Every structure is written in C-alpha cells, then in structure tokens.
Amino acid sequence: MRGQEAFAALPVGKKVTVRKTVSESDVYLFAGLTGDLSPNHVDEAYMRTTTYGRRIAHGALLVGLMSNASTKIITDLPGTIVSYGYDRIRFPAPCFLGDTVTVTYEIVERDEAARKTFARVTCTTERGDVVAAATHILKVVE
C-alpha cells in the first residue's frame, strides 16, 4: 500500500528546482573523492590556454546535483523509492567554477505497471546555458 501511495504522489508535471553555486572547494573536494584530477578541473594555467579559458566543473558533479533534486522530489513520501538510473546524460556547455546552476527536475512520463517515473532534468546557469541534461528514472520498490 505504501508503494501505491508513493507512486500516486509522483504525477506527470510534478517539479522541483535546486540551486547551487559551484565553488572551487566543490570541485577540489569532488576531484579528491573521485580521483579525477584532470587539468580541465584543477589546472587554471593550463585551462587558460584552451578554448574554455578557465577551469570547468566535472560533469559527474552536475549529475550529483541532479541526484539532489531527485531526492527532494521524493522527500516525505512513504515506501522505498530508488534511482533506477540516468539515460542520455549530456553536457552541452561548460559549467565554470563560480557558476550558479539551477537544476530543474520534472516528471514527464510514468510506467504504471513497473511503478517507474521518468523525469526531464536540466542544469542551467545564470547565463541561461544548459550545462547538463538527462532523463532520470525513479522506481517505487515498496
């Protein structure tokens, strides 16, 4: 019963937004946690010689912000709801250190039989650039 109640509370059109300024410490902590010390993320002098002109945040860090939004949409719902995964993750523009990113998470489809929801997730900077986009799947387990 709890799972049915949770699934019913996730209708098409339900939406949350989360906002975060991506700081230098976010990028360094993420680099240390994952071991991804690519110069794209941690070497300002190198990045000044590239098309980007400055360091960019890890794409996977942006996926972490997407995860935060998915958690917010299920907060206070009964039952067990899990991430079933992300499809078609894209990073169409760079996210620079200091960018404020707004994550918009909106349920756009439901699979009643499988008790899955499909959400359109976008990360947009204050300049209006979409720096990450994906489809996220939630599954109501019980």
Outline where DSSP puts E strands in the chain.
15-21, 81-90, 100-111, 116-125, 130-140
Q: Where are the domains of the chain?
A: 2-140
For 39-66, write each residue's pLDDT tens digit: 999 999 999 999 999 999 999 999 999 9
**Cα angle, residue 69 at apex, residues 1 and 137 outer, rounded to 5°:** 55
d(CA 115, CA 100): 34
CATH 3.10.129.10 holds for 2-140: yes
Cα atoms in the Cβ-side hemisphere of radius 13 Å centred on 23: 4
* pLDDT at residue 1, as a whole number: 57
Residue 29 has pLDDT above 80, yes or no: yes
The pLDDT tens digits of the residues spanning 82-111 come to 999 999 999 999 999 999 999 999 999 999
Determine the distance from the C-alpha atom of residue 140 to the mean position of all C-alpha atoms in its chain, rounded to a whole number: 19
The pTM score is 0.94
